[in-house]
Amino acid sequence: MLTWVGSGSIVSFMANQLSRLDQIFSALADPTRRAIVMRLCAGEASVGELAEPFDMALPSFMKHIHVLELSGLVQSEKSGRVRTCRLSPEALVGAEDWFQHQRAIWEARLDRFEAYVMKLKKERAAARQPSRTTDKTNNKPSKRKGSE
């Protein structure tokens, strides 16, 4: 007998995963935040170092850091007056899994489409092939246009 006791937790888990994925994609949708992530790929850096190439006030820049932290892509730690940020690549695992799943779906669709196109090509080629029948009454090849 099936019970529905735990079904709510599965739905909740999936909703949380999609919500996390939405946060990651939303965070990466902004070019400034993508640049921050790319810089952090080289190693941790202070907020001052990260903000240096951007022409914006520090409070505005901190909003970008906050969005990245909420998405789980970046972690920061304050030591005295310096806040140091580092990348959390494990946050991208969910996005990577989603991309792999989408890729598998589209590759299967394209494989089916390719098989369909090949089938159509074979059918058209077979339909264009002139029949090589002979006239049964006098055993002469049938006359076709251009064979005289």
| C-alpha to C-alpha distances, 79 to 13, 57, 63, 87, 133, nearest whole angstrom | 35, 22, 19, 17, 91
The answer to whether position 137 is within a domain reads: no
d(Cα 100, Cα 121) in Å, to the nearest integer? 31
pLDDT surpassing 80 at residue 116: yes
Taking only the tens place, the pLDDT of each residue in 87-102 is: 998 888 888 998 999 9
Structural contact between residues 94 and 21, judged by C-beta atoms closer than 8 angstroms:
yes
To 10 degrees, the CA torsion angle through 132, 138, 144, 145? Answer: 160
Domain that holds residue 38: 15-88
Helix (H, G, I), strand (E, B) or coil at 46: strand
Query: Is residue 119 in some structural domain?
Result: no
pTM: 0.63
Query: Do the beta carbons of residue 65 and residue 74 sit within 8 Å?
Result: yes
pLDDT average, residue stretch 23-44: 95
Any idea what the CATH number is for the domain that residue 49 is in? 1.10.10.10
What is the domain count for the chain?
1
* Residue 58, domain member (yes or no): yes
